[in-house]
Structure 1
Amino acid sequence: MAWTEAVEKLWNMLRDHRPSLYPMEEWDDLHDIRISKLPQEGLDSRALSNAKAVKAGLHLLNESLEASHKLSQELHTPLGSYWHAIMHRMEGDYGNSKYWFRQGGAHPVGDALQAAAKARVQSYAAEAFGSDSLKNRLDKLVSGPSWDPYLFVDIVEQQVTVVQNEQAEELLTELQWVEIKLLVQYSFQQTGGHSLEL
């Protein structure tokens, strides 16, 4: 099975799973095996690098932090830094996450992510989050001109370590899911693949 078809098949198994903000173990061990066996024959060197990025993202959808980390550490590109940053945020190493976001710089999916975040945050009532501070940060996140990954790290840290509000957890998990899906799609397109169904 060729790269494109194999990724699409695996994507269809993973795309609806919303990984936790702070996962404790892999969602499905078999998915890790499937990801590691994705065929890469025929991909040129640039596409091979981006194939690692696709795999790193698929591992994050599967909540497999260690496998994703191993791949993102091998990617000395802005895209690799972005995957590295998300992985560290998910493991709760928030300072390290910000470091890797700085290494990656602004990302092309930022505008789409900002638009998705704005729509989702506005669908919640102001009192839904149980914390004025968290709500104020969310409002700042979606009112900015572009996606602010550093502020999102701060919001996730506040939710995971202090607020622990069920509706905030639901919203932030949704935003993380959108972030990962957009990045997987972008990474896949860099390998020569087409748009994946989000």
Structure 2
Amino acid sequence: MSVRTQLDRIVHLLESRQPLPELRPDKVWNAALDEEITALDSLPGASSTAMIALKAGLHLCNDSLDRSHSYSQEIEDDAAGCYWHGLMHRMEGDYSNSKYWFYQAGSHPAMHSIGPKAAEWISRGIDGIAAAHQDRMIELLREMQHQHVWNSGLLTDAIELQESGRAAESTRGVLQYLQRHELIELLAYSRTAANG
């Protein structure tokens, strides 16, 4: 099986995961897949930095926080590496560290595709959520709804609020969708970068 075919299969499995991944996973989703990601050969022509970022993303989409962290730490001078690093810290619950790494990533190109799609999705469901809840969570969702460029820090604030128990449980699914969307969009960017 070619590396591209193997990668296609891995990405398909990760993108079609059901149910949605937890905001703060406590174990690897698929241990066999995690080993397969680690053993994945480099794509022909891919830079080592691009492959490391891709593996950091694949592991994170598989809820393998420790392995993702190891890869992202290897490329802390790369915007994608910083972005993956920030996402990993958010998923482990280290929110201030997460925001530090988002700041280091800067205005990453993936943020330009994440923002509009997330805003559209929020727009379709915000009224039902807002009718039931008038709180800080709705303020954060409305702010995300009006972004043109994605701000990962806002979602981090919303997830921290959710995980602290200060938000209605009915918003958890919305946040899970948004986090998954962010992961999948950054994975797509990393995959394109690794394809050269």
TM > 0.5 fold call:
yes
Aligned ranges for residues 49-128 of structure 1 at < 5 Å?
A: 49-75=49-75, 76-124=77-125, 125-127=128-130
Instruction: Identify which of 169, 181, 184 aligns with 1:181.
Output: 184
User: Contact 1:121/1:142 (CA < 8 Å) preserved in 2?
Assistant: yes
The CA deviation string for residues 142-171 of structure 1, in whole angstroms up to 9 with x for no partner, is 213321111111111111113353331101
Q: Secondary structure at the match of 1:20?
A: coil
State the shift of 1:131 in Å.
4.8
Question: Contact 1:129/1:165 (CA < 8 Å) preserved in 2?
Answer: no
Q: CA RMSD in A?
A: 1.7
Stretch of structure 1 that moved more, 127-136 or 112-121: 127-136
Counterpart Cα distance in 1 of 2:132 and 2:114 = 21
- Tell whether 2:151 aligns with 1:148: yes
Matches within 5 A, 1:131-142: 131-142=134-145
**Which residue identity does 2:162 align to in structure 1?**
Q
Match of 2:37 among 16, 29, 35: 35
Q: Which residue of 2 aligns with 1:8?
A: 8
How far apart, CA to CA, are the structure 2 residues paired with 1:13 and 1:23?
17
1:42 and 1:74 mapped to 2: Cα distance? 20
Q: Is the Cα contact below 8 Å between 1:128 and 1:167 reproduced in 2? A: no
Matched pairs, number: 191
Tell me whether 28-37 or 163-172 shows the greater mean CA deviation. 163-172
Q: Classify 1:131/1:61 alpha carbon distance in 2 versus 1 (closer, same or farther; 3 Å).
A: farther
CA distance in 2 between counterparts of 1:159 and 1:120 reads: 19
| Letter paired with 2:49 | S
Q: Following TM superposition, where does structure 1 have runs of at least 4 consecutive aligned residues deviating by more than 2 angstroms? A: 41-44, 126-131, 162-167
Secondary structure, aligned partner of 2:183: helix
Q: Which runs of 5+ in 1 are unaligned?
A: 194-198
